[in-house]
Amino acid sequence: MSAGANTYDVAVVGAGPAGLAAAAITAGADLTTLLLDENPTPGGQIYRAVTTTPLKEQSLLGEDYWAGAALVAETKASGAEIVQGATVWSLDATRELAASWAGTSRFIKVRRVILATGALERPFPIPGWTLPGVMTAGALQTLLKCSGLVPAGRLVLAGTGPLLWLLAAQLLRAGVRIVALLDTAPSANYLRALPHVPTFAVSRYLTKGVALRREVAQHVEVVRGVTRLRAEGQGALASIAFKAGPDERRLAADVLALHQGVVPNVNLAMAAGIAHRWHPVQLCWVPVLDAMGNSGIDGIAIAGDGAGIGGALAAEAQGRLAGLAAVAAVAPERLARLPDRQLLEQALARSMRGRAFLDQLFAPPRWSRLPEGDTIVCRCEEVTAAQLLEAVGMGAMGPNQAKAFLRCGMGPCQGRLCGLTVTELISNTRGVAPAEVGHFRLRPPVKPITLAELAAMAHTQRAVAAVVRE
Amino acid sequence: MRRTADVIVIGGGIHGCSTALHLAMRGLRPLVVEKDYAGRHASGVNAGGVRQLARHLAEVPLSVASMELWERIDDLLGDDCAFESHGQVLVAENEAELDQFRARVTDLRLRGYAHEELIDRAELKRLVPAVSDACPGGIVSRRDGAADPFRTTQAFRRKAVALGATVLEGVSITGLQRRAGIWHLSSSAGPFEAPVVVNAAGAWADRIAASLGEPVPLEVMALMLMITNRVPRFIAPVVILRGRKLSFKQLANGTVLIGGGHQGRSDRDANITEIDWHKLAESARTVWELFPAMHRAFIVRAWAGIEARMPDDIPVIGPSATAEGVYHQFGFCGHGFQLGPGLGALMAELIATGRTNLPIDPFSIARFAPVRAPRPPA
């Protein structure tokens, strides 16, 4: 790729459905558009490796997955400059990004930024979750999509959320035997979801969801109402203990895939200074945005799951709307040849139908969000729940003091894997709302960069300065 | 809530907390009022350098006195504050710099201070094997070291509270008035009163001073730091440079802290600091050139803390020139952490006895008083 320029009309961060759609719109309106994506190929999580996966049998990953191929093709044809393997590690209010690819970092100045950084799996801090053999459902699905790899040995899936069921079905279709699916969704979720049945019933999720559950239940022991889940083993996973109803049970296992929903990946947006609020149903931070996805910082918009979990089709519609907003700001005369805003808003509303039902039905229980005792909260610095509670007792009123007391959240993951747990644990202990407790104060680099490439940036600056002085 | 105290300390940084502790040790009942939380700004997020090395001459006696407290910090606070003494080394990057360093060390000797020691290339290489061969020598201060800044500030706060001090967090002072020998402070949590007030409000201290009729030219600064992933132990002392801005140290856990005076952007009213990567890239470049061992390290985090700086680069310490019963302790210009323990003791002595043996005249707030036109002869 060329990427010679360091100024663009639009930078889009992330090539999942939202980012691909946004870039297709802005590049289609002849705005110079740079689409930066961390993965080797476009697609984000949902359409991961859609152009390169070795799994050509379409029924295996399902039609919702293959729908991504058309979107990738559309964006590639739009004229957007797409850079794969690029990590955006800084963004400020002047819309200067710092990004690293091919071993070099550079500053890029743009008129509009569209963040489409997607979602992360919610942390699932149970006893033993750091043992080798315990992984997330998302990680297993990544291996499946990218490389056609499936786990060997006795596999157990545990948790809640649509992805868990989808993964189970995909693995079954690939010929994998699943010992059990341990459903941790509390039965009270069904009652809470009840008021949302009417909209769910007319959404695309109903038939798909029912079919998926039936497909899985035919081949896998599904255990409902699971609590007190523990991964056990010396040096590696050996067994899984849990409670189901009144019974204590234990299953021998080699691989445990955990999942309890996805949450917005907010690190870059927070580091850029965008305001966030606590979402009381989705139990996570979401950015404060207007209807077109614009944040409070001039020229920076957010689309897709990073703006609040809505799924792939909502993300695509949000991406197109954010693209339109960028065109409206930079070259409004070109709006005429672009898709109609109202149609997109209708598509977005349609794709959000049923979401409230899913949020309630798959809501993760308290016990799997609020670890106790020796259970690890922060994996990077190996901080336990008990240590965190002790720090709260010593006056750590929020995540930032916890960080200073314990180094909790100070490792290379920058709090991605512990942030929500820390906020909820402190909130629960102090008896105040998560919004009052707040989140880690995040700063760039939102992902680690090498000293060498940062040093090389200074070199480039000096060379530029030397030329300018002459 | 306690509304009266012997002394109200405005600001819960290391200075405010240390002064409160030393006041409590003298049997007084201090009240610390902090607008955020103790150690939220410069005191909690600085580089943790415990440095006598390369200080302004006026600060040397205070720094030397403070060092004695650092060396028994565990006895004082019941917490070792992660203080480790592996020395600090000022590296000369060339012969011209080394000549300047030689002159400084000689000057300090004549004034009776022996903590700074000139070292040649061989001793530099022995102390800091990882440094580039191009450096001809430097100065070492062998008793210096580093501590954990937030933990230290919290330890002062905890010990002060254990001895009878009160610390109120999340409370902002909005006004000061003296009536009948008592200071009445208004705040976001109602009124407080005490005969004595200490202004240890850091980057916000100029507002207190201005309300007392003694404005100061305080500049808000945001010193940036960045830290690497854990790398194998390769350097024990803290290394600082003079010409190019750099301070460099490896913490006990293997991470390497890189700082040295580059400033980010800040907004003290919003408690916001922003990193300037163009400047941090310069720091990275300097490290890259001086420490080949760092070529494969990763930068994991960067941050900046809000701090006060005075135009002459030394703090404001001592009684107010306009308001009786008010004492200032602010404007440490990015090098106040090491002074914290000693200055707390000094301020408590000053408040309790009215005097101190250490020379603090150079730090008087009166140095910023506007020059008044001489009155015409009558």
Q: Which of residues 101-140 of B touch A (CB under 8 A)?
A: none
CB contact B282 to A (< 8 Å): yes
- In chain B, the number of structural domains is 2
Architecture in CATH for domain A123-260: 3-Layer(bba) Sandwich (3.50)
Task: For chain A, state the CA radius of gyration.
Answer: 22
Q: Among B37, B275, B299, select the one facing A401 at the smallest CB separation.
A: B37
CA distance B200 to B203: 9
B149 close to B164: Cβ distance less than 8 angstroms: no
B191 with B291, same domain: the answer is no
B127 with B170, same domain: the answer is no
* Chain A residue whose CA is closest to B285: A455
CB contact A189 to B (< 8 Å): no
B302 — pLDDT class (breaks 50, 70, 90): very high
B322 with B363, same domain: the answer is yes
Question: Considering only CB atoms, which chain A residues are within 8 Å of B45?
Answer: 404
CA distance A187 to A443: 40
A303 close to A116: Cβ distance less than 8 angstroms: yes
Nearest to B91 by CA among B243, B230, B212: B243
Burial A114-126 (b: 16+ CB within 10 A, else e): bbbbbbbbbbbbb
CATH number at residue B254: 3.30.9.10
Is B74 a domain residue?
A: no
B378 — pLDDT class (breaks 50, 70, 90): low
B93 with B206, same domain: the answer is no
B325 with B275, same domain: the answer is no
CATH of A7-120+263-338, one of 3.10.129.10, 3.50.50.60, 2.170.140.10, 3.40.47.10: 3.50.50.60
Nearest-Cα distance to chain B for A394, in Å, is 9
CA distance A49 to A145: 6
Return the amino acid letter for A393: G
Q: Where are the domains of chain A?
A: 7-120+263-338, 123-260, 376-437
**pLDDT at A103 (0 to 100):** 86
Contact A455 B37 (CB under 8 A): no
**pLDDT at A460 (0 to 100):** 66
**pLDDT at A457 (0 to 100):** 86
* Chain B residue whose CA is closest to A99: B277
B165 with B292, same domain: the answer is no
**pLDDT at A5 (0 to 100):** 65
Q: How many alpha carbons fall within 13 Å on the CB side of residue A343?
A: 5
**pLDDT at A3 (0 to 100):** 45
CB contact A410 to B (< 8 Å): yes
Nearest-Cα distance to chain A for B290, in Å, is 12
User: What angle is formed at CA A386 by the lines to CA A381 and CA A387, rounded to 5 degrees?
Assistant: 45
Mean of per-residue pLDDT scores for chain A: 93
B229 with B296, same domain: the answer is yes
CA distance A317 to A71: 12
> What number of other Cβ atoms are within 10 A of residue A291's Cβ?
9
- Structure tokens of B363? 């730090």
Is B17 a domain residue?
A: yes
Is B19 a domain residue?
A: yes
CB contact B366 to A (< 8 Å): no
Domains A7-120+263-338 and A376-437 are alike in CATH topology: no
B184 with B303, same domain: the answer is no
* Chain B residue whose CA is closest to A441: B303
Domain ends where: B309, B342, B357? B309
Of chain B, the percentage scoring pLDDT greater than 70 comes to: 98
Domain ends where: B261, B294, B309? B309
| Sequential DSSP letters for B301-362 | EEEEEEEEE-TTSS-EEEE-SSSTTEEEEE--TT--TTTHHHHHHHHHHHHHHS--SS--GG
In Å, what is the CA distance from B45 to each residue of A414, B13, B255, B271? 17, 11, 15, 13
What are φ and ψ of residue A354, in 5° steps? Answer: 90, -10
Nearest-Cα distance to chain B for A278, in Å, is 20
Contact B275 A458 (CB under 8 A): no
Higher-scoring residue by pLDDT: A470, B188: B188
- Structure tokens of B160? 């002060």
CA distance B89 to B7: 39
Mean of per-residue pLDDT scores for chain B: 95
In Å, what is the CA distance from A411 to each residue of B154, B172, B253, B302, B304? 22, 33, 12, 12, 18
Task: For chain B, state the CA radius of gyration.
Answer: 21
Nearest to A359 by CA among A120, A160, A125: A160
Instruction: Enter the ipTM.
Output: 0.85
- Look at residue B68 and tell me whether its pLDDT is greater than 60: yes
CATH number at residue B189: 3.50.50.60
> What number of other Cβ atoms are within 10 A of residue B184's Cβ?
14
B155 with B40, same domain: the answer is yes
Q: Among B39, B277, B298, select the one facing A90 at the smallest CB separation.
A: B277
CB contact A100 to B (< 8 Å): no
The residues of chain A scoring below 50 in pLDDT are: 1-3, 467-470
B135 with B229, same domain: the answer is yes
Which residue reads 């200032």 in tokens?
B328
| Sequential DSSP letters for A80-101 | -EEEES-EEEEE-TT-EEEEEE
CB contact A395 to B (< 8 Å): yes
B43 with B159, same domain: the answer is yes
> What's the domain range around B272?
84-144+219-309
B237 with B303, same domain: the answer is yes
In terms of Cβ atoms closer than 10 Å to its own Cβ (0-12, 13-18, 19+), residue A385 is buried
Nearest to B306 by CA among B245, B220, B246, B247: B220
| Sequential DSSP letters for B245-280 | TEEEEE-TTS-EEEESS-B-EEETTTTEEE--HHHH
Which residue reads 């499936």 in tokens?
A150
pTM: 0.90
The 8-class DSSP code of residue B84 comes to: B
Which residue reads 């830290």 in tokens?
B227
Q: Among A98, A397, A454, select the one facing B284 at the smallest CB separation.
A: A454
CB contact A6 to B (< 8 Å): no
Architecture in CATH for domain A376-437: Orthogonal Bundle (1.10)
